[in-house]
Amino acid sequence: MADGHRAAYLAFDRFPSSKGSAVHIRHMAAELFDRYGGGLLCVLGGGGLPAYQREGAVEIVRFDAVVPNLLDRAEAFSAWAAEQLAPHRDTLELCHVRDPWGALPALDTGATLVYEANGLPSVELPYAWPLVAPSTLGKLRELERHCLSRAAAVVVPSYVIQRAVLDRGAAPDRVHLVPNGADPPPAGLPRPDTAPDRYLIYVGALQPWQGVDVLLRAFARLADLTDLALVVCSSVSANRARPLRRLAERLGVADRVRWQHMLPHAEVAAWLAHAELSVAPLTATPRNLEQGCSPIKVWESMAAGTAVVASDLPVIREVLGEHGRLVPPDRPAELARAIRVLLEYPDVRRELGERARRHVETGFTWRHARGRLAVVYETVAGR
Amino acid sequence: MTPCTVTTGFFTLGKCGVMAVAGCPACQRPLCAGHITESGLCPECAAARNQVGHPAAAAAYRRRMHRHRTAGEYQDAGWYAGFDAYDRSAFDPGAGAQQDYLDDGDDALVDS
Ligand SMILES: [Zn+2]
Ligand SMILES: [Zn+2]
């Protein structure tokens, strides 16, 4: 690689990982590197991931310094990323980022910036860091404004977050919608060996705004369905499930809940495909209402042909449309009732799942998402 | 046969597994012919010594070596909206809703 890279993708995220964000990075970065004949991927390491990899024309570098404070760590990542980009200043044409800490060093190179806003730290961080002061959030918003207003293109996965980035200074004619997607798994995936006969499934992380507690409470109301299990495919470690496990015990359902932690992405598809229903119980928090998301778990459930029961929120309606069952968020009794009805009507369930799968196949596979991103790259290259 | 243990793959990682023909002089891991860098080191050790990639990377590497790896020195004036000690204190490990921040990399800024 004597000539330097023409493209770089930066993410303050561990990659790869079992989280939805990693699936997203995988496909977006692949499109970038395909178009630019390779490139540099700057991500977080740790967990035994190598600090350096060379895969054909792609170089992967991982930040693995141990910096306990999150803000210090984010800034350390920024400075590190600036050093990774420095040798490529003369050749870099486009940097694709996901957060302000990737955007800052990318802007410094002078390359075209594509800012993919899946979430906003000023909205997201208070959930994990409840002591954050309003004045600090104000500074984060300023930082977001600084980066978003300088981006040649801002890519958003939903209309909900589109409003949030416009509110933070992104130019309206530069914001592009690229919904997430999923690839239908091959037909006839074998049932996982340890799968219960009949189960509901939840796939994803376990932050409070995901609403897994609501699902557990709903599940407790289905205690009469003694053959029904709940499988939680958690993208995070068992440590993080402790409060929810205690809740399951208190609710008396612990023996019917199966916890799977950090399953490789390829294995989750089989669990999804053989479930009776997939549940996405997101809560009606500002995080979900104002910032939004494009939940990969919903896309992947649809792609697997498994009927989805999900919270009736704008972000979910965007994804699921008419192809699933919407229920009011944060209402265990209503969630339980919707699940019970669908369990009683296997034909309706099958029909919903089939329709959802066709919907994904015809417009929302990762190939479709990559095509939409390709248009964005073409647009900014022609500017 | 001793298989090469260099990590390969983009999304699904694994070990290279091709027959090793040498060991990395720095970390001793077995290396196949394709994974020996010019310097004879494995790709990771070579990268850590800045012996792969663009020549200009050497300069950046030397600069980096002169720095102390303390968080404070990473701040570049003008880049950041001036986060002060008060702003930072909310992000200390003990201040999080979850205490075990390094266990699974679940410390990203956004999630899907
Ligand atoms: Zn080595
Ligand atoms: Zn090898």
A76 and A174 housed in the same domain: yes
Q: Are residues A159 and A238 in the same domain?
A: no
Residue A95 sits in a domain whose CATH number is 3.40.50.2000
Inspect the interface and report whether the beta carbons of A239 and B100 lie closer than 8 Å: yes
In a domain, A377, yes or no: yes
User: Hey, how many other C-beta atoms are within 10 angstroms of the C-beta on B67?
Assistant: 11
| CB of A110 closer than 8 Å to CB of B76 | no
Report yes or no on A2 lying in a domain. Answer: no
Are residues A355 and A318 located together in one domain of the fold? yes
Query: What's residue B97's pLDDT?
Result: 79
Query: Based on the domain organization, do A241 and A110 belong to the same domain?
Result: no
> Do residues A256 and A173 both lie within one domain?
no
Beta carbon pairs, A and B, within 8 Å: 216
Residue the block writes with tokens 């803000």:
A71
Residues 310-339 on A with a CB inside 8 Å of B are: none
Record: contact B88-A71, CB cut-off 8 A? yes
Global pTM value: 0.91
Distance A36 CA to ligand 2 centre (A): 25
Residues A176 and A104 in one domain: yes
Identify whether the C-beta of residue A255 lies closer than 8 Å to the C-beta of residue A183: no
> Are A76 and B76 an interchain contact pair (Cβ–Cβ within 8 Å)?
no
Is residue A126 one of the residues assigned to a domain? yes
Domain that holds residue A82: 7-181+365-382
By the 8 A CB rule, do A8 and A33 touch? no
Is residue A193 included in any domain, yes or no? no
Backbone angles phi, psi at A51, to 5 degrees: -75, -20
* A244 shares a domain with A128: no
Q: Is residue A1 part of a domain?
A: no
Task: State whether A115 and A203 are in the same domain.
Answer: no
- A261 and A172, same structural domain? no
248-307 of A, contacting B, C-beta below 8 A: 262, 264-266, 293-296
**Shared domain check, A369 and A358:** no
Q: Are residues A48 and A163 in the same domain?
A: yes
DSSP class per residue in A273-322: HT-SEEEE-----HIIIII----HHHHHHHHTT--EEEE--HHHHHHHTT
Domain assignment present for residue A188? The answer is no
Indicate the average pLDDT of chain A: 95
Query: Which chain A residue has its CA at the smallest distance from B96's CA?
Result: A129
Q: Chain B contact for A56, CB < 8 A?
A: no
- Strand-pairing partners, residue A95, are A8, A113
Give B73's pLDDT tier (boundaries 50, 70, 90). very low
Rounded to the nearest angstrom, the distance between the alpha carbon of B18 and the centre of ligand 2 is 5
**Chain B residues whose beta carbon lies within 8 Å of the beta carbon of residue A86:** 56-57, 59-60
A266-289 residue pLDDT tens: 899 999 999 999 999 999 998 999
Q: What is the number of structural domains in chain A?
A: 2
- Both A372 and A321 in a single domain? no
Full DSSP string of A228-272: EEEEEEESS-GGGGHHHHHHHHHTT-GGGEEEEES--HHHHHHHH
In this prediction, residue A231 carries a pLDDT of 98
**pLDDT per position as a tens digit, A66-124:** 999 999 999 999 999 999 999 999 999 999 999 999 999 999 999 999 999 999 999 99
